Structure 1
Amino acid sequence: MAASIAEENPASPRLTALSHGGGCGCKISPGILSDLLKRVTPKHYPDLLVGLEVPDDAAVFRLNNQQAVVATTDFFMPIVDDPFDFGRIAATNALSDIYAMGGTPLFALAILGMPVNVLSRATIARVLEGGESVCLQAGLPVAGGHSIDSVEPIYGLAAIGVVHPDRVLRKGGARSGDVIVLGKPLGIGVLSAAFKKGMLDPDGYAALIGVTTQLNRAGTALASLNGVHAMTDVTGFGLLGHLLELCRSSDVGARIDYSSLPWIPGVRELAEAGCVTGASSRNWDAYGQQVSLGAGLLPNAKVLLTDPQTSGGLIVACEQEAADRVLACLAAGGNDCARVIGTLVDGAPCVEVAWVSHG
């Protein structure tokens, strides 16, 4: 039998050159997704605690009074060229949905689509190894999966977890007066754009990998913390998009202190140099009418606030008195850049962003 193209030429092309997008920036825009979901009529199941009626980060199905299954699937095209790093980022991102519901992941199934006559088998195997390494770190097995021969490289996980039915942390449940805590620094989309343009230096690449492979495992502990009312994570719709989802589900508004937002070093300078993704403008077009940007913000604030995050941080809504405990819990889980970034207020589900002086 004739050898495959990849076996004859083991030098594989750049992963990012084979895809039209990368990471969570591949997501269908929030406007189109909302329209698509309107065409689906959810059926009622008494034990389906979280489903399509009020979309959230994962589905939750009650087994009994003590246990509920948390299930999610997440996959995307490469954000980096190193296959091992791609696998790690995709797996970390997929597991985040379990943590964002307050769950504990139990096992995962791999989702793999690869151009098998373009990429070498060694390259494809490294993607799988990267994903497995993250699952090992999180303490769960990759128990199976499914693969197809596809034009663009795709990898991710279907993840299954468990949570107590009374401790599920939904996007809904936040209250006026709650503070908003963000678990990771922002700017992944900007760094990925810089990487594609060849403008990301080694320190920037290390920061990109460090943030995107940091598990949000603190979410499990946060589910048992008194005063925590709601939680989600930041991915392809950017900080504003995912915060607006929490506001809509909770029927509250949000006020964000731009000066308190944590950024990955160098992100704002790269954005000023034109390293932005197309997803930023698509995000703003979808929900910008529900956002008020105050005076005194930096010129690139809109781009940064809508920047699509791949494997981004948790957004936690909690009582003011619980904020220190939430920050300590996140730090113990490895999220030592967590910050209080704003408050939730009475009113329509919209977000006001202002520069608040702390001097």
Structure 2
Amino acid sequence: MTPTPDYKLTQYSHGAGCGCKIAPAVLDQMLHTSIAQPHYDKLLVGNASRDDAAVYDIGGGQAVISTTDFFMPIVDDAHDFGRIASANAISDVYAMGGRPLLAIAVLGWPVDKLPPEVARRVLEGARSICAEAGIPLAGGHSIDSPEPIFGLAVTGMVDIINLKQNDTATAGSELYLTKPLGVGILTTAQKKGILREEDAAIAPAQMMQLNKIGAELSKLAAVTALTDVTGFGLLGHLAEVCEGSRLTAEIDFLKVPRIAAAEPYLRQGSIPGGTSRNWASYGHKVGPIGDEQRAWLCDPQTSGGLLVCVAPEGRETVLAVFAQHGLTLESFGRLRAHEAHEAWVQVGA
């Protein structure tokens, strides 16, 4: 897509994509409450586990998945913005092992700055991704806001036996990532005006890829935990898996999938603000780490890949599913029993 003439959306917002997310430590303060919360027997997944979506048992062995995600533009083109924001929101359903059913749009629009036809292009992009996911964009809500905001509320379904969570990993599980890191580095280079034309399509193309594979991985007992990697970066989401499962992750930095084209921009200082906010929030949960490792592993991802925890005895079955989706992946780490007073994530190499 070529940028909408005279309307480069990233110029109208102070943040971009999942880099807009409130830092984990600040979010913890917001969510903390001393008020006793009622217990709902049918609520299988709620706020307590910091998972990707809420899950509610509706009986008959099935559950409804409910989630929402929205943010400010991470690309200039309106159509691409709609596609990326929608793929990102739908990903939360796939990350729970579910299948999406329908979506509702969430739109905030600066009507005094951007004309309606630009918003229409955002919605058209959203409809195109929903069509790829096989679901309708069934409605929505819009407000007049100072900056453009777009996303979806998505409803999905899952067979409870196939439900995947981020706090159920087991010791010995191997770690895989279905999309390489570096989206935040590339999009920051774009905002800085240093992104080369030949690299301009790399991040948008990856961000528009649906994580449909999650619905297939959910059927495999060897997948012990599942989550998607977004604004908190790989380390943030991996730390949530480790804390929830009471395990320690040992990762080999050199094996972590990374976008090769992002490397030169990192050397030029293309580091999103969200990277430092992420580290400030959870750095104490991570063992000794170098500056370059931190820049990659805390890089905020928008519509990132799935972090897959796999029991080694089921490795070949999972790798076969990856291959069916055109993914040739190797493990970048493993989980082991957590020892008192040690970091949740240890980074090697």
TM-score by length of 1: 0.92
> Is the counterpart of residue 347 in structure 1 residue 338 in structure 2?
yes
Computed over aligned residues only, the root mean square deviation of the Cα atoms, in angstroms, reads 1.5
> Is the counterpart of residue 241 in structure 1 residue 236 in structure 2?
yes
Matched letter for residue 38 of structure 1: H
Residues 41 and 233 (structure 1), Cα distance of their counterparts in 2 relative to 1, 3 Å cut? farther
Task: Identify the residue that residue 130 of structure 1 maps to in structure 2.
Answer: 125
> Is the counterpart of residue 251 in structure 1 residue 246 in structure 2?
yes
SS of residue paired to 1:117: coil
Task: Identify the residue that residue 148 of structure 1 maps to in structure 2.
Answer: 143
Distance across 2 between alignment mates of 1:160 and 1:236:
21
What per-residue deviation string (whole Å, max 9, x for no partner) do you get for residues 89-138 of structure 1? 00000000000000000000011011112112211100001111001011
What per-residue deviation string (whole Å, max 9, x for no partner) do you get for residues 192-241 of structure 1? 10010111123322111111011111000111112111100100000000
Alignment of 1:200-279 (within 5 A): 200-279=195-274
Distance across 1 between alignment mates of 2:204 and 2:314:
30
Which residue of 321, 324, 327 corresponds with 1:329? 321
| Contact residue 183 and residue 337 of structure 1 kept, 8 A | no
Matched letter for residue 315 of structure 1: L
- Cα deviation for residue 279 of structure 1 reads 0.6
Task: Identify the residue that residue 317 of structure 1 maps to in structure 2.
Answer: 309
SS of residue paired to 1:256: strand
| Contact residue 106 and residue 140 of structure 2 kept, 8 A | yes
Matched letter for residue 24 of structure 1: C
Task: Identify the residue that residue 283 of structure 2 maps to in structure 1.
Answer: 288
| Contact residue 174 and residue 310 of structure 2 kept, 8 A | yes
Task: Identify the residue that residue 299 of structure 2 maps to in structure 1.
Answer: 307
Residues 119 and 150 (structure 1), Cα distance of their counterparts in 2 relative to 1, 3 Å cut? same
Which residue of 87, 99, 111 corresponds with 2:94? 99
- Cα deviation for residue 325 of structure 1 reads 2.4
Distance across 2 between alignment mates of 1:75 and 1:311:
11
Task: Identify the residue that residue 25 of structure 2 maps to in structure 1.
Answer: 31
Distance across 1 between alignment mates of 2:40 and 2:17:
33
> Is the counterpart of residue 109 in structure 1 residue 104 in structure 2?
yes
* Residues 219-228 or 232-241, more deviating: 219-228
- Cα deviation for residue 322 of structure 1 reads 2.0
Distance across 2 between alignment mates of 1:219 and 1:133:
20
Task: Identify the residue that residue 7 of structure 1 maps to in structure 2.
Answer: none
| Contact residue 94 and residue 215 of structure 2 kept, 8 A | yes
Task: Identify the residue that residue 65 of structure 2 maps to in structure 1.
Answer: 70
| Contact residue 222 and residue 318 of structure 2 kept, 8 A | no
Residues 337 and 262 (structure 1), Cα distance of their counterparts in 2 relative to 1, 3 Å cut? farther
- Cα deviation for residue 36 of structure 1 reads 1.4
What are the ranges of 5 or more consecutive residues in structure 2 without an aligned counterpart?
Answer: none
What are the ranges of 5 or more consecutive residues in structure 1 without an aligned counterpart?
Answer: 1-9
Matched letter for residue 322 of structure 2: L
Sequence identity, in percent? 47
SS of residue paired to 2:331: strand
What per-residue deviation string (whole Å, max 9, x for no partner) do you get for residues 35-87 of structure 1? 21122654210000001222210000000132100010000000010001101
SS of residue paired to 2:211: coil
Task: Identify the residue that residue 157 of structure 2 maps to in structure 1.
Answer: 162
Distance across 2 between alignment mates of 1:41 and 1:154:
33
Task: Identify the residue that residue 15 of structure 2 maps to in structure 1.
Answer: 21
Alignment of 1:186-197 (within 5 A): 186-197=181-192
Aligned residues: 342
| Contact residue 75 and residue 204 of structure 2 kept, 8 A | no
- Cα deviation for residue 337 of structure 1 reads 5.4
SS of residue paired to 2:106: strand
- Cα deviation for residue 17 of structure 1 reads 0.9
> Is the counterpart of residue 179 in structure 1 residue 174 in structure 2?
yes
- Cα deviation for residue 339 of structure 1 reads 3.4
Task: Identify the residue that residue 82 of structure 1 maps to in structure 2.
Answer: 77
SS of residue paired to 1:339: coil
Distance across 2 between alignment mates of 1:11 and 1:219:
37
Distance across 2 between alignment mates of 1:175 and 1:11:
51
